[in-house]
Amino acid sequence: MDNQEYYMLIEVPKDFSQNATTLLDDTPKKLELKYVPNESYNFVSSQMGNTAMKEIQASVQKSVTETYAETMFDKIKSMGEGFATANKGAGEVDEGAGKLSEGAAQLKENLATLADRSVQFSEGLSKAGNGSKDLANGASKLNSGLAQLEEGQNKLTAGSQELQKGTNELAAGLANLQTGLHTADGKMSELNSGTTEMKEGVQQFQNKLPELAKGTKELATGAEQLNTGLGQFEEQLIAGMNETINQQLQQYMPLLQQRFSPMEIAMIKQKVEQQQSQMAEQIRSNVGKLQKGSKQLAAGSKEINKAVSGQLAPNMKSLNEGLGKVQNGQQQLQAGVHGLAEGSDQLASGTGKLQNGEKNLSEGMNKVGEKLSEAKNGSAQLATGAETLNSGLGELNSGSEKLSEGAGKLAKGSTELESGSTKLKEGTEELHEKLGEAADKANEVKAKKETYDMMAEPVKVDKEVKHHVPNYGTGIAPYFLSLGLFVGALMLTIVFPLREPAEQPSSGFRWFIGKTGIMFTAGLAQSLLVSAVLLLGLKMEVQSVPLFILTTIITSLTFMAIIQMLTTMWGNPGRFIAVLILILQLTASAGTFPLELIPTALQPFNSILPMAYSVRAFKTVISSGDFHFMWANEGVLLSIAAVCLLITCLFFKRLFKKQYNTQIVEE
């Protein structure tokens, strides 16, 4: 190209085909063709090269696009298979979601039952607490009554001692003693009845102690089992939840890998793990509260069982035995008092017997005092145990309330879980259906070579040529024909004198006819020569051979008339004006480029330049066949020729008068 040997260069880079495979890369590279026109060598050839490059670009682009389309349809078919696989997986996910929904419903039902049972358990503990309060109050009253009884027993013992000491005074106060003994005999029945009732109450309470001990022991065992079961339930619930979520995630993983990048999939896994951790933490927190309450319940129940079995039962047994002895002593006392009352008349004679009876009475009263002291201690322990039982039941009641609250939260959470699992099942069912539809749609795509060609080149230009021009030479012929004929006429003026006659003319008109005849003969000759070369030598096709030859003759004669006029009138300056007209016609005649593309300042000259009309006439007779338009342009040429011939004729007449009339007159 530097040596002006080539008009243009088209370079195909070595990475041209490789760049075609970068369509789906992060930074795809376009296919580049390097085009280097040598515009300084020939500008028109560079413009032709531009057109050729556009055709090459369109052709290569079509081939690449067709390959892309073929690959894309292959991927659509593969995508249809993937949709079918995903549809199958979605069906399995839907089935798993159904099982999850059923499990959530069962979990909701069981947790609701647990909440109801926890409420009933809390209410039972509340009633047990109230009963323990009543037991504590009764034990306190029993202790107070035994204290009073012990005080009375002490006084009775002291009285018996005084009675023994006052045996010597018995005779003096026999009348008073007899009255007192009868009164005591009447009151002893009431005392014996009260002691009997107290013994029966203690016996009933003692009979209930095994049931109370068994109940507290079972309560402690149930609380421990509840605590253990809650721990197992916590682990099973968390493990089941994690296993279900992980299985669903693994089932969705092929679809996710198709739709998302590895980084996005990692973020999804991290989000799922965070949600699993949060849900597991909530479950552990709620179950922990339940375990804490069950532990407190077990501890309180053990304390109650320990108090009932270890301290209360033996003390109650001792109290019952003491009351039996008191009852026997009271019966004996009653019999003795009654005997005293009956034998008061014989008291004087039975002083010795009385002393023996007083001794026995004193011993029995001492035993009664001892048993009353033991009964008082037992009742104090009973009151303390009842208070401990009441306190433990209070803590157990508080734990049961927390247990009930936690069970309520679990039941509420299970409701939300059931709702979420239902929505999950609906979503997986819809996913299953949509994936099936997508697979069907993708498999319906049928592509073949015509489809690839349609996608690569969807628009086809139906070129319907009006007045076909077969080649570039035919298209440019009107311009160069006009140019050659104009230059031929101009060159004739150099070798043929247009003003000097060969001999003296007889008139100015004959002088004009002589010069014009030579010019027109040469013009006719060059037009016939050009027509022969184009029609016979170059085999150029025209719409009408006679009209083409006629147009060539009219154009040649018109140019001869114009140049004859300019050269005859002004000589070399006229020839220079003809050259200027030729130069102006090269650009303003619209022979190579359309009129709209020539410089705006030159466009007005187009209508006054003869070559513009000759080019139009030649285009018509060679290509379009619009002979009416041809005759219109040739009429303008003939008009221009007529005007130029008229001016030339007048010039010769004037020149003849000026140059030859004086000589004729003198002769």
Phi, psi of 350 (to 5 degrees): -105, 35
> How confident is the model at residue 545, as a pLDDT?
95
> How confident is the model at residue 173, as a pLDDT?
63
Tell me which of 460 and 99 has the higher pLDDT. 99
Give the start-to-end residue ranges of the domains of the chain: 109-444, 472-666
Distance CA 446, CA 76 (A): 10
Q: Is the pLDDT of residue 127 over 60?
A: yes
Distance CA 292, CA 402 (A): 9
> How confident is the model at residue 580, as a pLDDT?
94
611, 556 contact by CB (below 8 A): no
State the CB neighbour count (10 A cutoff) for residue 259.
Answer: 11
Chain mean position to CA 554: 81
Which letter does DSSP use for residue 601 in this model?
G
- Range in 174-188, 222-236, 420-434, 487-501 the model is least confident about: 174-188
Distance CA 483, CA 497 (A): 22
Beta-sheet strands, E only, within 369-460:
none
Phi, psi of 303 (to 5 degrees): -60, -45
Distance CA 78, CA 86 (A): 12
> How confident is the model at residue 20, as a pLDDT?
82
At residue 260, the 3 state secondary structure works out as coil
421, 34 contact by CB (below 8 A): no
pLDDT, averaged across the chain: 78
Residues contacting 636, CB < 8 A, separation 6+: 610, 613
> How confident is the model at residue 383, as a pLDDT?
67
Q: Which helix (H) or strand (E) holds 11?
A: strand 8-11
Mean pLDDT over 623-641 rounds to 94
Q: Is the pLDDT of residue 285 over 60?
A: yes
Q: What length does the chain have?
A: 667
Q: Is the pLDDT of residue 171 over 60?
A: no
| Burial status of residue 53 (CB atoms within 10 A of its CB: 0-12, 13-18, 19 or more) | middle
> How confident is the model at residue 336, as a pLDDT?
67
> How confident is the model at residue 404, as a pLDDT?
67
Tokens of 168: 């010597």
Mean pLDDT over 533-543 rounds to 92
How sure is the predictor about 520, in pLDDT bands with cuts at 50, 70 and 90?
A: very high
At residue 510, the 3 state secondary structure works out as helix
> How confident is the model at residue 491, as a pLDDT?
93
> How confident is the model at residue 142, as a pLDDT?
66
State the CB neighbour count (10 A cutoff) for residue 103.
Answer: 16
> How confident is the model at residue 650, as a pLDDT?
94
> How confident is the model at residue 278, as a pLDDT?
83
Mean pLDDT over 624-637 rounds to 93
How sure is the predictor about 636, in pLDDT bands with cuts at 50, 70 and 90?
A: very high
Distance CA 278, CA 409 (A): 16
Q: Is the pLDDT of residue 82 over 90?
A: no
pLDDT digits (tens, 9 = 90+) for 347-361: 656 666 666 766 776
Distance CA 636, CA 643 (A): 11
Which residue has tokens 């997508």? 438
Distance CA 363, CA 160 (A): 10
How sure is the predictor about 648, in pLDDT bands with cuts at 50, 70 and 90?
A: very high
Q: Is the pLDDT of residue 667 over 60?
A: no
First to last CA, the chain: 74
> How confident is the model at residue 464, as a pLDDT?
64
297, 357 contact by CB (below 8 A): no
> How confident is the model at residue 54, as a pLDDT?
87
Chain mean position to CA 145: 80
Query: How many CA atoms lie within 13 Å of 76's alpha carbon, on the beta-carbon side?
Result: 15
3-state DSSP: the chain helix, strand, coil percent, rounded to 5? Answer: 85, 0, 15
How sure is the predictor about 380, in pLDDT bands with cuts at 50, 70 and 90?
A: confident
- Range in 342-346, 634-638, 650-654 the model is least confident about: 342-346
- Range in 82-86, 264-268, 520-524 the model is least confident about: 82-86
Mean pLDDT over 530-544 rounds to 93
How sure is the predictor about 479, in pLDDT bands with cuts at 50, 70 and 90?
A: very high
Among 155-169, 385-399, 424-438, 477-491, top mean pLDDT goes to: 477-491
State the CB neighbour count (10 A cutoff) for residue 355.
Answer: 13
pLDDT digits (tens, 9 = 90+) for 61-78: 888 888 877 777 777 777
- In the chain, the percentage of residues whose pLDDT exceeds 70 is 71
562, 640 contact by CB (below 8 A): yes
Q: Is the pLDDT of residue 647 over 90?
A: yes
Phi, psi of 37 (to 5 degrees): -85, 145
Distance CA 208, CA 132 (A): 13
Distance CA 288, CA 275 (A): 19
Residues contacting 292, CB < 8 A, separation 6+: 399, 402
Q: Is the pLDDT of residue 465 over 60?
A: no
Distance CA 529, CA 452 (A): 55
294, 399 contact by CB (below 8 A): yes
Global pTM value: 0.43
- Range in 23-27, 341-345, 419-423, 569-573 the model is least confident about: 341-345
Mean pLDDT over 455-464 rounds to 63
Task: Give me the DSSP letters along 192-250.
Answer: HHHHHHHHHHHHHHHHHHHHHHHHHHHHHHHHHHHHHHHHHHHHHHHHHHHHHHHHHHH
